[in-house]
Chains A and B, each alone.
Chain A
């Protein structure tokens, strides 16, 4: 029951998070900005619009949006959002989560190549490069966290970490947080890695792959991107600041978990908006330097665990 509520929260709340970030960015830039609920309107518009499919594509193009949303929906089932008891299916640990995201990226890259245009190919190639270079950081950060928590199962990890009162004073913990934050930027296609609102094809990474999509396929993919951002933020919030999330299935605990989640997501959203407003997009071949930097942070986190007992 709680699982269903949590899952629906993720699925329905993801566009709201995107709307909140956009609104904050707009305010920071001195604009009024679109409505907070605009992403929902966009999705509804896309669902009823006609689908235009390129003649050069194959069934992979039509199959990909389903795989992408499927992977995200399954990922939403395994991340503990409101509570760690009964709040998530124990389908797998955090490594499975990362591989589910990689599955979605794999199919999106194939769909980008399918249309036979230069933009799609370019987006696919860049996206796979960024994803591949972000993988070592993710795994080393997971290593660092699992060293502290003694497990890689998501709910257990949060429970163990919440027991350490001085967690935030741990340098390894903070370093892992920063490295995973940079990885979030890379994986969800936000500045400074990729500009989600650009319309210049040569500067696109994620957008170029999905250039050919329209109608309900595009709606599914946009929704999946929003869910991915929501899940990454939930992970960052719940693993690195593990207080507030419910430990039991009591309604009071779940409600507290909801309030804590809203606070964490809002904080992360505001920091993302501030970051996006203050930095420019990196040249594509400077992105590996950024990802190497985040890898060094994660490696330092691991070293800090091994050498600072």
Chain B
């Protein structure tokens, strides 16, 4: 019952957002100020322009399938969880409304109010299953990180507000050239830090891999697919609009953060055996790719190469949209798997493709899309990002060219590693034989779940074959943002970047691939040949029984990467051997432990947290519980104030 309310609440909201976004992309815009709603800071100011409209479409594309998925996912909950499901519905609705109004916000107060509303809503959504300590810790860390980000954003906004004398961001854009550059730099760094922490870029990402596995799957999907993009939205706004044209080190900083996030994100994903945490790290990686595009755009913008900047921003925004689609698909698939098997650990899975054929096929499409395989949508946006980076030779400065070369290498490495990661994720989960009992009993999920995944898969295919559907609106978005259309020429079938620099026809590629495969298959059918197929055991060097123990494990698959990138993982290995009592030579048990450590957490956050705890412990001495000391404090402060105010 409760999940029906949830469906009837969230779906219309999402449809409304979609309609608003579509209208905005086709040119409709509005600007409204409501000073009486909030009497301070200029009231509530909302406005729709093309960039906001694009992000509204992203929000809707992410939320709608998840809302449909939630219907069946929460149906089989125990009745005492009904109240929680209702709370979930309310939380989800608040989440959608706050995100939509966030991209429409036009002054500081509105922005921060809805930012905080979004953070609170997402916190409550994460804490849905708060009977587990893991969830509580994840929620707490998320709350701390998001409020630290809020503090940075607030400081940055206030710096700009003080320099420009206005709380409206459009006023900043107009006054930007007159403001002291050092103030703008400070504002950029602070606000970017806040937005990067929301987007999940390294080194602000530590809440992501904890929050996503803790939340229910459709919530993880919405968070990863949609909420992360709002950090990107903020970054695009401050980089290109609200702070005017920045120096090139803004772009270099974002580019390098993107390169590090991309490579480190996928490296952490590839060794992870928790399906949802793997997908969370993969989100960090994709955010890195998006940041590469935005960083490149900022650098080109600072050199006044605006059509190239538009190309980079278009590539980044297209990747935002594509990531929303395929990450939501993958998370919903993970949700279906968790629903069917009860476990998140891929080391216990296997053989699910026979038991959940449609879910498996849809998860495969998601994996292919995220690994940027032609002809799906991930390929188009990564291809565009590559071309934007390759075109960097038009920048006349050699230092910047070298930075771009590093970025290209990082993106290429990420692409290869992402493919490896998802071969592992899909292969170990769905192929070969089940590795545990609970997986053997798995069954296919309800049709509503499959429908939501299917819609996303179709969108992925469509955007892959005809990217012009997204590129044409993006052209107008960048025209409004940067004043120029991207250096792209596109038709229904093809895209040409940078004049004659690079061309691709993804639709034709897909068609040719399909035709060739079909022709080969038909050739076999027609020429007869030997259509005999014999089914037999797998080759195992002649051993008698083929058991799941012989299958390759996920940890084994990741072993070459663990070795090659050991400088990042800094693993700790320990072997303990218990021999039999009678003889040292007969081994009873061997315990092997191989643990990878997160150097960011150990190197940055652990010392920081320890320092904060130490300082807090010292300050706690002030709160002595003694009434007389409190009275003394009040008396002392009064005396000091009297002296100072003279």
Q: When A and B assemble into the complex, do they touch directly, with CB atoms less than 8 Å apart?
A: yes
Interface residue ranges, A against B (CB under 8 Å) = 47-60, 66-67, 69-71, 73-74, 77, 89-93, 95-96, 99-100, 102-103, 105-106, 109-110, 113-122, 124-126, 128-129, 131-136, 138-140, 142-143, 146-147, 150-153, 156, 201, 211-212, 215-216, 220, 284-285, 288, 295, 299, 302-303, 306-307
A115 to B432, Cβ gap below 8 A? yes
Interface residue ranges, B against A (CB under 8 Å) = 350-351, 353-354, 364, 368, 371-374, 379, 383, 386-387, 390, 393, 398, 401-402, 405, 408-413, 415-417, 419-420, 423-424, 426-428, 430-433, 500-506, 508-509, 512-513, 516-517, 520-521, 524, 529-530, 532-541, 546, 548, 550-553, 556-561, 563-564
B520 to A143, Cβ gap below 8 A? no
Q: A106-B419, A135-B416, A307-B398 are in contact. Are A113 and B536 (CB under 8 A)?
A: no
A-B contact pairs, 22 of them (CB 8 A): A50-B534, A51-B530, A53-B536, A91-B505, A100-B374, A102-B416, A102-B419, A110-B431, A113-B423, A113-B432, A119-B539, A121-B551, A121-B556, A122-B552, A124-B557, A125-B558, A135-B415, A139-B408, A139-B412, A147-B393, A153-B503, A212-B539
Specify which of B413, B428, B529, B535 is in contact with A53 (CB 8 Å cutoff). B535
Specify which of A55, A91, A92 is in contact with B537 (CB 8 Å cutoff). A55
By a CB distance below 8 angstroms, the chain A residues around B520 are 66, 69-70, 73, 220
B412 to A118, Cβ gap below 8 A? no
Specify which of A96, A150, A156, A307 is in contact with B509 (CB 8 Å cutoff). A96
Q: A50-B530, A128-B419 are in contact. Are A152 and B390 (CB under 8 A)?
A: yes
By a CB distance below 8 angstroms, the chain B residues around A96 are 374, 383, 504, 509
Q: Supply 20 further A-B pairs (C-beta < 8 A) apart from A54-B539, A124-B427, A135-B412.
A: A53-B535, A66-B517, A73-B516, A74-B509, A95-B386, A106-B419, A113-B423, A113-B432, A116-B431, A116-B538, A121-B552, A125-B552, A128-B423, A131-B420, A135-B415, A139-B386, A143-B405, A150-B501, A285-B563, A306-B402
Specify which of B401, B416, B546 is in contact with A116 (CB 8 Å cutoff). B546
Rounded to whole angstroms, the CA-CA distance of A215 and B534 in the bound complex is 11
Instruction: Name the distance in Å between B424's Cβ and chain A's nearest Cβ.
Output: 8
Specify which of B350, B373, B387, B536 is in contact with A106 (CB 8 Å cutoff). B373
Residue of B nearest to A47 (CB): B529
Residue of B nearest to A72 (CB): B516
B431 to A139, Cβ gap below 8 A? no
B379 to A99, Cβ gap below 8 A? yes
By a CB distance below 8 angstroms, the chain B residues around A50 are 530, 532-534
Instruction: Name the distance in Å between B383's Cβ and chain A's nearest Cβ.
Output: 6
Q: List 6 A-B pairs, minimum CB-CB distance, nearest first.
A: A121-B552, A132-B416, A116-B432, A139-B412, A113-B427, A135-B416
By a CB distance below 8 angstroms, the chain B residues around A150 are 501
By a CB distance below 8 angstroms, the chain B residues around A103 are 373-374
Residue of A nearest to B552 (CB): A121
Rounded to whole angstroms, the CA-CA distance of A90 and B494 in the bound complex is 10
Instruction: Name the distance in Å between A107's Cβ and chain B's nearest Cβ.
Output: 9
By a CB distance below 8 angstroms, the chain B residues around A307 are 398
Instruction: Name the distance in Å between A123's Cβ and chain B's nearest Cβ.
Output: 9
Rounded to whole angstroms, the CA-CA distance of A160 and B276 in the bound complex is 48
Q: A106-B419, A114-B427 are in contact. Are A212 and B538 (CB under 8 A)?
A: yes
A116 to B551, Cβ gap below 8 A? yes
By a CB distance below 8 angstroms, the chain B residues around A70 are 513, 516-517, 520
Rounded to whole angstroms, the CA-CA distance of A302 and B389 in the bound complex is 14
A215 to B373, Cβ gap below 8 A? no
Rounded to whole angstroms, the CA-CA distance of A56 and B536 in the bound complex is 9
B393 to A135, Cβ gap below 8 A? no
A134 to B416, Cβ gap below 8 A? yes
